[in-house]
């Protein structure tokens, strides 16, 4: 149930975006840069990071939407939920594991992240720019998880399927266009 009285009880994030376009438009522009702009990571890998971070934060809405989006962008089915359970056995490229471990630690114990954690990502063959992008996706979805939970946004599997496919098809700039 949405926490804002002006929103319907079954509000989804688009309802918040439409109610508050002045904060939503720049946020969606930023999403487009981070999630679909040039990056060492594919769109699917960035969506996997988003789904993983959201799963660690127990944000069911973001985890559901971004799991579907990651899969629509080529990540193996079930990889995001599996990563939340055990990042060391999830079916992803081996070099993604240190990235997921890094963003996992950044999500759950941010002040404990060390240079050694970053070095593990770099040793897996990622360049410094990739580490920066991983940090930015992680930070964005920690923010979004709190935004969703703070507004009381919930949805189920049917909505996740619709929203995830829409994100794969139109990206975040397409959501901005839906605001009118």
- Residue 1: inside a domain, yes or no? no
| Residue with the two structure tokens 């319907």 | 8
Q: In sequence order, what are the residues at sequence separation of 6 or more whose Cβ sits closer than 8 angstroms to the Cβ of residue 61?
A: 12, 13, 54, 148, 153, 154, 155
Is residue 4 domain-resident?
no
Residues 146, 122: Cα–Cα separation, whole Å: 29
Asked, for residue 68, whether it belongs to a domain, the answer is yes
Regions of the chain with pLDDT less than 70 = none
CA atoms within 13 A on the CB side of 73: 28
CA atoms within 13 A on the CB side of 110: 7
| Residue 100, domain extent | 13-175
At 40 the pLDDT is 98
* Residue 8: inside a domain: no
The tally of domains found in the chain comes to 1
In a domain, 161, yes or no: yes
CATH number at residue 62: 1.20.1290.10
Q: Tell whether 3 is covered by a domain.
A: no
Please report the pLDDT score of residue 180 as a whole number: 76
Contact residues for 99 (Cβ-Cβ < 8 A; gap 6+): 45, 49, 121, 124, 126, 130, 134
Q: Is residue 67 part of a domain?
A: yes
Residue 6 lies in a domain: no
Helices (H), 40-156: 43-56, 60-72, 79-85, 96-108, 115-123, 128-151
Give phi and psi for 68, each to the nearest 5: -65, -45
Query: What is the reported pTM?
Result: 0.96
């Amino acid at each position: 149930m949405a926490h804002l009285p002006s929103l319907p009880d079954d509000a989804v994030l688009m309802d918040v975006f439409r109610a508050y376009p002045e904060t939503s438009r720049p946020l969606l522009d930023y999403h487009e840069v981070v999630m679909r702009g040039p990056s060492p990571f594919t769109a699917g890998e960035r969506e996997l990071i988003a789904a993983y971070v959201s799963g660690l934060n127990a944000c069911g809405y973001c985890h559901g939407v971004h799991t579907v989006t990651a899969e629509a962008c080529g990540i193996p089915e079930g990889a995001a939920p599996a990563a939340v359970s055990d990042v060391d056995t999830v079916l992803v490229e081996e070099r993604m594991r240190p990235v997921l471990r890094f963003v996992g630690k950044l999500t759950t114990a941010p002040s404990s992240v060390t240079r050694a954690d970053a070095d593990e990502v770099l040793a897996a063959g990622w360049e410094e720019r990739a580490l920066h992008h991983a940090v930015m996706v992680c930070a964005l979805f920690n923010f979004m998880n709190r935004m969703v939970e703070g507004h009381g946004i919930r949805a189920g599997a049917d909505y996740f399927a619709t929203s995830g496919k829409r994100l794969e098809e139109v990206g975040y700039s397409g959501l901005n266009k839906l605001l009118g």
